Amino acid sequence: MERAQDSIDIFISHSSKDCEIVQSFLDDLLIGSMGFQIRKIFCASIEGTKIESGEDWRNEIRNHLLKAKVIFLIITPNYKSSEMCLNEMGAAWATESKVIPMIVEL
C-alpha cells in the first residue's frame, strides 16, 4: 500500500524504545505548533506514520529517507546503541535532505 510516499516532507529517525519522546515531538511540535499534516511525516513506529503491515520495511525506510526534505535524528542513549538507528544516521547524511540531529538526554 503506497501512502503518499512522494509527498513525505519529514523523516524521523529514532529508537523504537523512545516512542514516548517521539510521539510528543510529533504531536506537540511538528503537528501542534508547526502545522504539518501527519500524512507528510514518516516515523517507523508511530501510528499513522509507520510502515504498513506486510510492507518490506527496508525498502520503505530507504524510499522515505530518499524522498524526505528534512530528516530529524532523535539521538538518545537508546539510539546510539541501535545498529539500525546508526545505519539510518549514516544514510541520512548521504541524502540531499536537510538533516537535523536532536540530542535528548534521558
CATH classification of the domain holding 77: 3.40.50.10140
* pTM recorded for the entire structure: 0.85
How many angstroms separate the CA atoms of 64 and 34, rounded?
A: 21
Q: Is the pLDDT of residue 1 over 50?
A: no
3-state SS, one letter per residue, for 51-69 = CCCCCCHHHHHHHHHHHCC
Given the residues 47, 88, 96, 105, the one annotated as active site: 88
Between 4 and 63, the more confident residue is: 63
Domain that holds residue 82: 5-103
The total number of structural domains in the chain stands at 1
Residues 14-29 have a mean pLDDT of 93
Active site annotation includes 96: no
